[in-house]
A and B are shown apart, each in its own frame.
Chain A
């Protein structure tokens, strides 16, 4: 018996016509009889009078093209378009300019020119939904499933440069950017894409700033084809030789400022997800301006796991290669703890205790900054606290009102830190400045700030009024 099934969405109607192998089924009324043999599939778009249609091969090819394309489009990861020399698929989908999606359907009747349908994203979604409803329907082609599955790593990695050239899709843009950073150094393989595919889009993203390492990708491809000479960071021996003539910084205040700068850099650049199996200890040499000149592992674990730390990325290599020259330097012991903490202390300790951080003591300034501080925090705090007890912090504020230091005064305060506007307002880099390429600490006014579960904000100068 002939059975017809229709899946109707605002922009797309999918009709399947087939036969029912009713033998053995208890309920054989036409409405419930399973469509087991597909004879004809028809796909009609609202803005296009003539439908696309074909037999089982067309239907299978349509489903497979849609599944692959939608997955790629959502993830931003592309896979090879098709093996070189392989037969073109009966149905293909590709991204074109203006955020449209091009559906190409080949059949013996249409050969050699495929039928072309350009879809908006909403139209594409309706096609996907019609397919999904069809597969969710147990009485249509029972025993078949969508079999959605991701692309294995191996394929994805090989294709990243290609993906980078195409329109970055969906959230994949961030993943792509990260991957682009990895692949930027590799020669870009020759990849051929059909000429009509998004000519404008690739232009748009090519010269983008590579967000993972902040380096601007050269807009000029000529530069890319000429392999850059490998810049070797200085070995520890070279570094030791270079430092022999230099002067080690021993002034406790300068050491404190450099330690703070180092901590700032390491915390900002670490990868929170990197696994640190056991404490990794390094001797890190920094210049007077805070740049990391080199580092040496100080234990076995550190030797094997440097990649888990931001040190390799942060090591300063002069643009012209070779090694950094410096007149003054300081050594620090840096320990990366498995719990994510980073311990930093001068390698030779402090000759005497560094003076306390410079402080703003003028009472008028303190009062003015407190008023500003209340205003800034209140403007950003939307209330609706999710904590159930008072959260207390010490804040250090620069003369221009920037919150440069935040110290939670309890465990609870540190747990909920991220839910408060403090984190948004906190600019730890403001606690340091560079004068003549020397890192110095900036004077701060200190306050005690309390956030209450009722949504109130209490502030007071740290040393009382």
Chain B
């Protein structure tokens, strides 16, 4: 679609972001937990899909998010607002930027629907039969990749990261993220992820004190 908007200092937000509703957040920027979780969701996607990195940029174009994410470095900087990152960026993550990351996560997940679903089935089976997760070959492969990604990108000197130096704890995190990805694949996946990310973080609009 050709746009004939006159150039302005702050380009309007990409239209696709309207699908995610606005909620009042303190100071209008993403809280710590949210910055952490968005990045971890994307990390789990990368652990699932070796080609995720180039595909993300393809989706940036398709969804017309270039005003928010002009290039690979910009994407990396947004994700590095995750306080656990080794090279954590001391910058705020705006709600528009967070929406862009959520839309990207949703589209990446949709593309992986079959794989995510299969892994979730493996996980459910392992849990119900008390089989160690590592004994499910597909799951074990994902968990291993996630652990490697997590440990190479997160700052081991943060106490929360240190908590995950235990393989079992990190597998638990990876499994939960995997199940979240399953819900991201759905028709309303982006909205459900968005609302979960903001859960417990929005201001009460009715009562002000």
Say yes or no: A75 contacts B200, CB within 8 Å: yes
Of B95-103, B134-142, B173-181, which stretch is located at the interface? B173-181
Give which listed residue, B35, B120, B157, contacts A268 with CB less than 8 A: B157
Q: A70-B192, A212-B160, A271-B83 are in contact. Are A129 and B128 (CB under 8 A)?
A: no
**Other 12 A-B pairs with CB < 8 A, given A74-B192, A271-B83:** A71-B195, A74-B180, A74-B193, A98-B127, A148-B191, A149-B21, A153-B201, A174-B36, A177-B163, A178-B33, A423-B87, A429-B157
| A100 in contact (CB, < 8 A) | yes
Give Cα A71 to B200, complex, Å. Answer: 10
User: Quick check: is B124 within 8 A (CB to CB) of the other chain?
Assistant: yes
- A-B contacts, 25 of them at CB < 8 A, read A70-B192, A74-B180, A74-B183, A75-B197, A75-B199, A77-B199, A98-B128, A99-B124, A120-B124, A128-B192, A150-B196, A153-B200, A153-B204, A155-B200, A171-B41, A171-B180, A172-B176, A211-B159, A212-B160, A214-B162, A273-B35, A273-B83, A340-B90, A386-B72, A386-B76
B67 within 8 A of A: no
Contact with B along A203-225 (1 / 0, CB 8 A): 00000010111100000000000
With a CB–CB cut-off of 8 A, which chain A residues contact B186?
A: 125, 128-129, 132
Q: Please give me the residue from chain B that is nearest to A387 by CB atom.
A: B73
List residues of chain B with CB within 8 A of the CB of A421.
152
Q: How far is the CB of B84 from chain A (nearest CB, A)?
A: 8
Kindly state whether residue B40 has any CB partner on chain A within 8 Å.
yes
Chain B residues 29 to 80 lying within 8 A of chain A, measured CB to CB, are 32-33, 35-37, 40-41, 72-73, 76, 80
Question: Within residues 85 to 117 of chain B, which ones have a CB less than 8 A from any CB in chain A?
Answer: 85-90, 92, 117
A136 to B192, CA, bound (A): 14
Query: Does A251 reach chain B (CB closer than 8 Å)?
Result: no
Instruction: List A contacts of B187 (CB < 8 A).
Output: 129, 132-133, 136
- Contact between A419 and B76, CB atoms less than 8 A apart: yes
Q: Does A173 contact B (CB under 8 A)?
A: yes
List residues of chain A with CB within 8 A of the CB of B193: 74
Closest to B93 in A: A273
- Count of residues in A whose CB is under 8 Å from the partner chain: 60
Chain A residues within an 8 Å CB radius of B17: none
A175 at interface, CB cutoff 8 A: yes
A455 to B85, CA, bound (A): 23
Q: How far is the CA of A148 from the CA of B37 in the complex (A)?
A: 19
Complex contacts, A418 vs chain B, CB 8 Å: 80, 85-87, 153
Query: Would A152 and B80 be within 8 Å (CB), given that A169-B176, A170-B177 are in contact?
Result: no
Q: CB < 8 Å: which of A98, A121, A268, A339 contacts B179?
A: A121
List residues 1-32 of chain B with CB under 8 A from any CB of chain A.
21, 23, 26, 32
Contact B159 A121, beta carbon cutoff 8 Å = no
Out of A122, A128, A175, which one reaches B117, CB within 8 Å?
Answer: A122
Complex partner residue of A152 from B85, B123, B182, B202, CB under 8 angstroms: B202
